[in-house]
Amino acid sequence: MSAACFRLADLTAGYGDRKVLRGLTADLPSGRFTALIGPNGSGKSTLLRTMAGLLPYGGGLTLLGREVRGVSRRQFGRLVGVVPQHFRPLYPFSVWEVIGMGRLPHRGFPARPLNAEDEALIEAAAERVGVRSLLSRDVTSLSGGEAQRAVLACVLVQDPPVLLLDEPTSALDPHQAARVLGLLRELAREGRTVAAAVHDVNAALPFIDDYLALKEGRFCSQGPVEALDGRVLESLYGAPFLSYRSERGDVMWRALCE
C-alpha cells in the first residue's frame, strides 16, 4: 500500500458561512491517479481548491505529513501543480511564456532569466501535451482545449510531485481527452500523485487507480477502481446503471432512464 500523500481527517470547508465539504476522511496514496467523481455541486472543485491551499478549512489536511495551512506558497509551488477547469488569460502572453511561468518556483527571487535547462523543459512539456506548434501563438487566441493543454504543460515544467486537476478534459475532444488521461496515468506511473475531478466516468475508468465518490459534500464511497460498480454509481447519481464491455474489453457503465 502506498504511503498517503494527502490525508483528510474530518475535513470541512466552504465559502464564508456556506459549508460545502462536511467531515471528509480519506487518504490519497502517493504515486497513484485518483479520480474525484460525483454529481454537479457535490463538492469536487471545492475539495481540490482546499487541497490546493486556496480555501480555509476545519479539521485536518496534511500534505506529505505537513498541515497544509502551514506550508508557504513558495513551498506549495514546488510541491503541487494545479490545473483549473477554466483558464481565462487576461493578457496576450505567448504560449511559450505561459508554459515558462511554471519555472517561477525554481528561479528564486528576484526571478533569474530562463536558462537552457528551463528552455529544454518548456520544449519537452509542449511536445508531451501536443502544443509545440502553438508556442509562438498569443494564448488569448487559443481554443479552450488548446489553452487547457498549455496550462497542463506549465504544470509539467513546474515539476511538482503532486498534480491537482479540475475537469482536465472538459474542453477537449475525445481523442485529446484520452491523450491527456493517458498522460496523467503515465505521470502517476512515474511516481507523481495525481488527483482529478472527472465528469465522464467511462472516459476515466481505463486510466485511474482509485476513486473518491462525493455526494452533497460527503464521501459516499472510495477505493480502488475495481470496486467502482453499479451499486456505487446508482447511490451517487440516483439512477440504475448497466455494465457492458468496450471493444477493448474495459468495463463501462450506462445510466438507465426510468
E strands present in 30-112:
33-37, 57-63, 66-67, 80-83
Residue 29 has pLDDT above 80, yes or no: yes
Which pLDDT belongs to residue 45?
95
Could you read off the pLDDT of 62-114 as tens digits, one per residue?
999 999 999 988 888 889 999 988 777 767 899 999 999 998 888 776 667 88
Which pLDDT belongs to residue 222?
94
Which pLDDT belongs to residue 107?
78
| Spatial distance between the Cα atoms of 171 and 79, rounded to a whole number of angstroms | 26
| Spatial distance between the Cα atoms of 156 and 247, rounded to a whole number of angstroms | 32
Strands 18-29, 210-215: pairing is unpaired
Q: What is the mean pLDDT of the chain?
A: 91
- Quote the DSSP letter at residue 202: H
Which pLDDT belongs to residue 3?
79
Torsion of the alpha carbons at 181, 185, 191 and 194, rounded to the nearest 10: 40
Mean pLDDT in residue range 34-53: 95
Residues facing 215 on adjacent strands: 218
- Assessment of whether the complete model's pTM goes beyond 0.75: yes
Could you read off the pLDDT of 163-200 as tens digits, one per residue?
999 999 988 888 989 999 999 999 999 999 999 999 99
Which pLDDT belongs to residue 37?
97
Quickly state the pLDDT bin for 257 (edges 50, 70, 90).
confident
Which pLDDT belongs to residue 258?
62
Cell 502572453 sits at which residue? 93
